[in-house]
Chain A
Amino acid sequence: QSVLTQPPSLSGAPGQRVTISCKGNSSNIGAGFDVHWYQQIPGTAPKLLIYGNNNRPSGVPERFSGSKSGTSASLAITGLQAEDEADYYCHSYDTSQDLFGTGTRVTVL
């Protein structure tokens, strides 16, 4: 079964840039399917952060940006803030099913 692989954890100081990778394969991201990103504060539901690879819903700060290349995608947080401490998940489509990434816990030092 296909998996979208993310680093389990990342950390950065306030103001730094953090990049979260999401590695797929030729049957999901590499097949051209869009990638979406969600932020989840522990104890709450996931919140859509990026849709369609690089689009931000209204209300999402500009410091969040998404990109996709080949079989991988990335979420960048530029100018890390304390409130960005959360879990982040990528999401795409594979053969007949939607897939979520393994999740990345971002810690603000």
Chain B
Amino acid sequence: QVHLVESGGDLVKPGGSLRLSCAASGFVFSDHYMVWIRQSPGRGLEWISYISPTGSPIHYADYVKDRFTCSRDNTKKSLSLLMTGLTFDDTAVYYCARVGSYSGFDHWGHGTLVTVSS
């Protein structure tokens, strides 16, 4: 059974940094693209980043380029998102998800809350 568990969400001040993690189990992690998505009341669901099965290439949404870095460790079946230069607008629940057939996101974690506040 596919299982994704995010962790690392926290309260952080504007300009601060945070690293999120996503632990995967129940499938061959190294076979799949993975994504990060976030959701906030004001902006709904937003795609953040894709990472290929090998770790390269990685694609980012324009609004996080040069601030967020996605990486993966296939030996540990884990995904990471390093977020720097955080602003109030980055406040959201952050999800990791597996990319499945036709590029739909077929399994999601439960999410981890990031709050940016002074």
Q: CB distance A100 to B47 under 8 Å?
A: yes
**Interface status of B57 (Cβ within 8 A of chain A):** no
Q: Does B44 contact A (CB under 8 A)?
A: yes
- Interface of chain B, main secondary structure: strand
| Given known A46-B45, A97-B47, contact A91–B102 (CB-CB < 8 A) | no
A36 and B104 in contact, given A45-B111, A97-B61, A97-B62 (Cβ under 8 angstroms): yes
Interface residues on B, range: 20 to 34
Q: Per DSSP, are chain A's interface residues mostly helix, strand or loop, or mixed?
A: strand
Q: How distant is B2 from chain A, measured CB to nearest CB, in Å?
A: 11
Query: For the side of the interface on A, what is the size category?
Result: 20 to 34
| Cross-chain pairs A/B with CB under 8 angstroms, 12 sampled | A34-B103, A36-B102, A36-B105, A46-B105, A47-B108, A51-B102, A51-B104, A93-B103, A96-B59, A97-B61, A100-B46, A103-B44
| Chain A residues near B (Cβ < 8 Å) | 34, 36, 38, 44-48, 50-53, 55, 57, 89, 91, 93, 96-100, 102-103
